[in-house]
Amino acid sequence: MAFVVDQLRVPHSMFCECDRMTREERVRLTVSDCTFFMFMQRRILHAPPGILFKFPDGWTPSGPHEPESLRYASFKILSILAENAARYFSSQDAEGFIFDWHYRQFLELKQIFITHFHFPPTIADAVLPRIHDLELFPYLYEDICQEQLKNVTYRHHCSDYEKYYRLRIVTTL
């Protein structure tokens, strides 16, 4: 999964159905970024750039000084392409700047990936963007934080993210 930190998102509401997620789904399908949360609360002026990648269970992210393997690079590229599809599928504006991505949209696009593109369910689940969690479940944050951040790499959080930003497209509806 690719989580683009500075992507504007529609806030959670009582209609977004994210409260239907089980605890296990919250750990698996969500990701939190404290710097983006600080931006949402207007504690910092600009949305922080960068991309977080969350790898499937059993994958260990490579270290910051290790070369990137073809397996990890291809997963990151596929995740960015899935993020493009998600923004096209559920943006609220023609350019894809405001992302309406919640549990219901996740399930719908996952089913499209499985049905129309013949993705195995585990791969479809792994490459689709995660749901931003911190603004919806702050009371659960400490409880699931360590589990939620398992297999997340911050390698492209503050630097070296431009090559993946270039793969992102602006959608036209």
Task: Give the C-alpha separation, 51 to 6, whole Å.
Answer: 8
- As beta bridge partners, residue 152 has 54
Chain centroid, CA 3 distance in Å: 3
Q: What was the pLDDT predicted at 142? A: 59
Angle value at C-alpha 57, between 56 and 60, nearest 5 degrees: 85
Mean pLDDT by 10 residues, the chain (173 residues): 76 84 85 69 74 80 72 88 88 76 93 95 91 59 66 66 71 44
Q: What was the pLDDT predicted at 56? A: 83
Q: What was the pLDDT predicted at 141? A: 53
* CA quadruple 94, 13, 51, 6: dihedral, nearest 10: 60
Q: What was the pLDDT predicted at 89? A: 87
Model confidence, pTM: 0.79
The two tokens of residue 112 are: 């499209």
Q: What was the pLDDT predicted at 136? A: 45
Provide the residue type at 72 as one letter: Y
Q: Please say whether the beta carbons of 135 and 37 come within 8 A.
A: yes
